[in-house]
Amino acid sequence: MKSIYLVRYGSSDQAFEIREEEDPFPREGEVTLRVEASGLNFADVLARLGLYQDAPKIPCVLGYEVVGRIDRVGSGVERVRAGDRVTAFTRFGGYASHVVVDSRAVVSIPEDMDAGVAAALATQYCTAWYAAEEMVRLHKGDHVLIQAAAGGVGIALVQIAKRRGCIIFGTAGSKSKLEVLEEMGVDYPINYRDHNFAAEINKICGDQGLDVVFESLGGKMFKKSLDLLGSGGRIVTLGVAQIVGKRGNIFRSLKTVLGFGLFHPVRFLLKSQSMIGVNMLRIADHHPEILQRCQKNVMDLARQGELSPKVGGIFPAEQISQAHEFLGMRKSIGKVILKWTP
């Protein structure tokens, strides 16, 4: 088998090394997959830059999810069998031609489902579902802000919010991404680089404020988003994309972190507001049954045509550096994947 190791932090063209290894074997409750595609996520970029505290120490293999076919089945596994085509949550280790995973993190997929679509459903749509359906219940007519709405999780959140009949404000950083948001039915697409998104939203919502914010940029953008919440509002924090590009300058990174601001619980009590953090690694570690439930829900809705992931880039596994550069520059619209040669 082949594995792509992160061997040094920094630039993508010097960060990775492909190594030959022995094929893995499953233990009790596990399955081995022959991987068709490995998904890339923005957290992988943070890990490459040394900015993701949950990542293993280098050298390590990144990658949250894979699409593939079950090759071997460990003892005690009854729900799936060898030969099944599946998606799987790997919790690192996904950048490999073969992986071993907990059978509870595996969901069967149709033979004709696109690998990029399946990979997006496995993690990004699962994250969005957990945030929007399990942690924050959206209602018809809710005014919802989705930051970075043209990214993988952002697109998923837009589709889930549209399904619930929400009024959506979606931010993006380029004209092409704004066009995608318009095509998806975002009511108010806003270029956060060229416009003061908070001022634009205030013009429309006024004192009523927003009902829900899904925030993945961090820093001052988080604080501005929080200030837009109305009474009873909820803000869900999903990441810190603004910190990318600041490795090597600890003061700039610290500035991003401090930009979140300091909050006292009384603030949320007085306004009946709530702040929620979503980290799917913790859910996978401690509540795999929740992960499996979310995966099944999004997969079922995708089969019914109610959710439709976009694939933003497909790279051969050998082009891992180019794939990371593409994702890190935030040029992608939708899911980015690595394809493995059969």
Q: How far apart are CA 118 and CA 86, in angstroms?
A: 8
Q: What is the distance between the alpha carbons of residues 124 and 43, in angstroms, rounded to a whole number? A: 11
How high is the pLDDT of residue 251?
45
The dihedral through the CA atoms of 107, 341, 155, 51 has a sign that is positive
2-121+281-339: CATH class: alpha beta
Helix (H) or strand (E) holding 88: strand 85-89
> Within 13 Å, how many C-alpha atoms sit on residue 162's CB side?
19
Name the CATH superfamily for 139-277: NAD(P)-binding Rossmann-like Domain (3.40.50.720)
Cα separation of 192 and 215, whole Å?
Answer: 13
Residue environment code for 328-340, b if the CB has 16+ CB neighbours within 10 A, otherwise e? bebebbbbbbbbb
Helices 197-205/220-227 angle, 10° precision: 10
Q: Across the chain, how many H-helices and E-strands are there?
A: 13, 15
Within 8 A by CB and 6+ apart from 299, the residues are 87, 107, 109, 121
Residue 264: per-residue pLDDT: 67
Q: How far apart are CA 225 and CA 209, in angstroms?
A: 10
Are the C-beta atoms of residues 164 and 144 closer than 8 Å to each other? no
Give me the phi and psi of 190, to 5 degrees please: -135, 130
Give the Cα separation of 187 and 169 in Å (integer): 6
CA 67 to chain centre: 16
- pTM, entire model: 0.89
Position 246 scores a pLDDT of 46
- Give the rounded distance of the alpha carbon of 225 from its chain centre: 19
Spans in the chain with pLDDT lower than 50: 242, 245-252, 254, 256, 258-259
Q: For the chain, which residues make up each domain, given as ranges?
A: 2-121+281-339, 139-277
Handedness of CA 150, 154, 156, 161 (dihedral sign): negative
Answer for the pair 192, 171: CB distance below 8 angstroms, yes or no. Answer: yes
Neighbours of 194 (CB within 10 A): 11
Phi, psi angle pair for 137, to nearest 5°: -85, 115
**Residue found under tokens 């994309």:** 241
